[in-house]
Amino acid sequence: MKIFTLILLLFSFSLVAQDYNHFTIDTVKNKKMLIGYCTREAFNDTAFVGWFEESYNNYQFENEVLNQLKDFLNDIKIKIVLGTWCSDSREFVPAFLKILDNISFSESNYEIISVDRKKKGFGNEADHLDINFVPTFIFYRNETEIGRIIELPNESLERDFLEILKNN
């Protein structure tokens, strides 16, 4: 009985734990791509670090907008859905993460999900998110979706981010 209980306990932990930083091969470009839940450390991989660091370092945000953002961050969570194969994701996801870093937004308040060209993750992590274009930044307040930036910002990442938070 003890062995059965131990096996059942271990199995239930494996169902709850999220698996991070999976790689697969993009069949179109025959290059490595991230798939599923990932951490920022995944972008240190040689397949991604070049474009990630370039976009991160080159993004010039508006300080006055970032200062305003800090007033609206209570109870905010964000899902970032990207494709490492996508040029818009390569440009805007590192830039968005630079914004989050500069407003001291906790990593525990956002998730990064990488999808393939069919907008599928490693498991079903993106299936319920209605993703048609990447990157997609989904903003939640108290577990309720309050807005999205889809593919390209209307004005700038930080201005669109602020607009979503101010209006909700």
Per-residue pLDDT tens over the stretch 156-166: 999 999 999 99
Comparing 3 with 102, which gets the higher pLDDT? 102
Please say if the pLDDT value at position 52 is more than 70. Answer: yes
Q: What is the pLDDT of residue 5?
A: 40
List Cβ neighbours of 98 (8 Å cut-off, separation of 6 or more). Answer: 56, 59, 61
Longest dimension (CA), the chain: 63
What average pLDDT score do residues 60-81 get?
A: 96
Please say if the pLDDT value at position 14 is more than 60. Answer: no
CB 139 within 8 A of CB 78: yes
Residue 14 domain flag: no
Query: In DSSP terms, which residues pair with 139 in a beta bridge?
Result: 78, 147
Q: What is the pLDDT of residue 113?
A: 98
Residue 5 domain flag: no
3-state secondary structure of 142: coil
Using pLDDT thresholds of 50, 70 and 90, give the confidence band for residue 13. Answer: very low
Domain span at residue 110 reads: 19-166
CATH code of the domain covering residue 67: 3.40.30.10
Domain count for the chain, please give it: 1
Average pLDDT, the chain: 91
Identity at 92, one-letter amino acid code:
F
| 109-148: pLDDT as tens digits | 999 999 999 999 999 999 999 999 999 999 999 999 999 9
Residue 87 domain flag: yes
Q: What is the pLDDT of residue 18?
A: 61
Q: Are strands 76-82 and 136-141 parallel, antiparallel or unpaired?
A: antiparallel
Residue 112 domain flag: yes
Residue 71 domain flag: yes
